[in-house]
Structure 1
Amino acid sequence: MEIERPRLSKSLLETKLRAIPIDEDPEILNVSLKDEEIIEAHHPRLRISNVVFTNCTFTESEFIKADWSDVRFENCDLSNVTLKDAALHRVEFINCKLTGIDFSDATLKNVHWEQSMLPYALFGDCKMENHAFIDCDLSFAYFYNCEFKHVALERCQLNEASFEDTKLKGLDLSTCSFDTMKVSMDDLRGCEVSPHQAIQFASLIGLVVKD
């Protein structure tokens, strides 16, 4: 599976957030922002394109119906951010903190997550295509009625993650780790797991595996 990475200009304008009138025109375009804060903000339909965020904080903010394309977040904190009904395309999160982020009803295409923390993240009724979680913490994450198409999870922590009404056919979990995970046997059908994980899932349905 090949994920399209953000198509970023080589010469982005380095600026400050205060120079961008997002309260008047909700968009951030063609810039590089460092060490900025957007806390407890509400910007519906915020459009972001061709932007790199580095060491930025967006905690407790709400971006309903956001439209983000060709964006890179590096070492950013998006904890408890609401991105309901958002559309993300060619976006990557590198070494970011996203505890409790809410992607309910979002469409996520060509999104790459690497070495990022997403405990308690919400992915309700989410459409995910060409998607990769690499070395991420998804403990207690909640996937409800999601549509997965070409989704990869590599070396992720999935302890207490919940996959409800979400088909995992074709998904390879063999490099991931968990003590327990919430998923039905029907939704698990066709999923690739390691021998150790097979024993763990067998215990979920009451089977006793003997050597």
Structure 2
Amino acid sequence: MTEYFFDQHYNNLHYGLETLNLKEFESCSFTNCNFSECNLIGVTFIDCQFNHCIFDNAKINHTAFRTVFFNDCQIKEVNFAMSDKLIFEIHFNNCALDFSKFYALKLKGISFNNSSLIAVDFMATDLTGAQFYNCDLYRSEFEKAIANKVDFRTSYNYTIDPSKTKLKKAQFALEGLKGLLYKHGIIVE
């Protein structure tokens, strides 16, 4: 049976391997909590906030994120592709998501603000209308992604192959052109 928690505030907690399994949290906030050892199975987060939390290497199989905000969190090497896809909506502000995976997810309208997205897997992901504001996208992979209407203007270090990524009406700054032309061996100075 699933335990339900509403409008709770959790601070400075270190969660163990199976501590949160089969629990549902709605309108809850987590501050300075460590989830890095968690193997989350069947957990649901609805309208929740995570502030200054650590999720490095957390396993989030069948975890539901329904309108969830991550602020100043460290979320390295997390496979979001294994999340529950029903009403999946997440947003990131000032987060480190290096080496995480969003493979084949529908992330329409997602926002990444002031975040490190080094070597993140966005392959086959639907990013339509996404916002990448001031993000480091070094070695992130966008092959077969739908990046129509995505705003990349303030982000940097990306290399995107326009022949392998849908980019209709995507926005780029002039400084970012070299990231679109790299495969042609064109030098932009």
TM-score w.r.t. length of structure 2: 0.86
Q: Which has the higher strand share?
A: 1
- Residue 28 (structure 2) aligns with: 51
Structure 2 Cα separation of the partners of residues 195 and 54 of structure 1: 39
Q: Do the aligned partners of residues 196 and 43 (structure 1) sit closer, same or farther apart at CA in structure 2, a change above 3 Å counting?
A: same
Question: Are the equivalent residues in 2 in contact too, given 1:199–1:209 (CA < 8 A)?
Answer: yes
Residue type at the aligned position of 2:167: R
User: What does residue 40 of structure 2 align with?
Assistant: 63
- Equivalent positions of 1:75-114 (< 5 A) are 75-106=52-83, 107=85, 109-114=88-93
Q: C-alpha separation between the residues in 2 aligned to 1:210 and 1:25?
A: 56
How far 1:196 sits from its partner (Å)? 2.0
State the shift of 1:55 in Å. 0.4
Instruction: Give the conservation status (yes or no) of the 8 Å contact 1:139–1:161.
Output: yes
The Cα offsets for residues 147-170 of structure 1, whole Å up to 9 and x where unpaired, read as 224321100010011112211111
Instruction: Indicate conservation of the 8 Å contact 2:6/2:28, yes or no.
Output: yes
What CA distance in whole angstroms lies between the structure 1 residues aligned with 2:151 and 2:13?
A: 37
Runs of 5+ unmatched residues, structure 1: 1-23
Whole-angstrom CA distance in 1 between matches of 2:114 and 2:167: 24
- Aligned partner of residue 129 in structure 1, secondary structure: coil
Asked whether 1:208 is paired with 2:189, we answer: no
Where structure 2 has 5 or more consecutive residues not aligned to the other structure, the ranges are none
Matched, 1:175 2:150: no
Query: AA paired with 2:159?
Result: M
- Tell me how far 1:124 sits from its aligned partner: 1.6
Residue 45 of structure 1 and its aligned partner are, at CA, apart by: 4.3
Give, in angstroms, the shift of residue 64 of structure 1: 3.4
Taking the TM superposition and a 5 Å limit, the aligned residue runs for 1:1-211 are 25-41=2-18, 43-106=20-83, 107=85, 109-178=88-157, 180-181=158-159, 183-190=161-168, 191-204=170-183, 206-209=184-187
Q: CA deviation at 1:47?
A: 1.9
Rounded to whole Å, the distance in 2 between the matches of 1:185 and 1:167 is: 12
CA distance in 1, matches of 2:42, 2:141: 25
Identity of paired residues, percent? 16
Paired letter, 1:32: H
Name the SS for the 2:175 alignment partner.
Answer: helix
Cα distance 1:90–1:138, how it changes in 2: closer, same or farther (>3 A)? same
- CA distance in 2 between partners of 1:29 and 1:184 (Å): 45
Aligned length: 186
